[in-house]
Amino acid sequence: MLTRVFPPGVVDEVIAECGRREQRSRLLPARVVVYFVLAMCLFSGQGHEEVARLLTQGLERVRQWEKPWHVPTSRPTKVAASWS
């Protein structure tokens, strides 16, 4: 659902316009962090690790997530969750 409302190309453009494009490959790429923050708003009653799990399942389903990935431990998701 998030990728239909906020297509990856649009999210990437906004990230670039804000000067926040990542300089190297990260566990949580900038586009995924944007989707994660939006998902935290949609699933505000869930913990950040559960939201990350739901998000990655959804991204895998629509083929927006191509790399093998696991839900990060609390540190990266807590940092991203603090932005919501």
Distance (Å, whole) CA 19 – CA 4: 24
Note the pTM of the prediction, 2 decimals: 0.70
Cα 38 to Cα 23, 24, 43, 44, 53: the distances in Å are: 23, 23, 9, 10, 14
User: What is the radius of gyration, based on Cα positions, of the chain?
Assistant: 12
Question: pLDDT (tens digit, 9 = 90+) per residue, 20-78?
Answer: 887 776 667 888 889 889 999 999 999 888 888 888 787 777 665 556 556 666 565 56
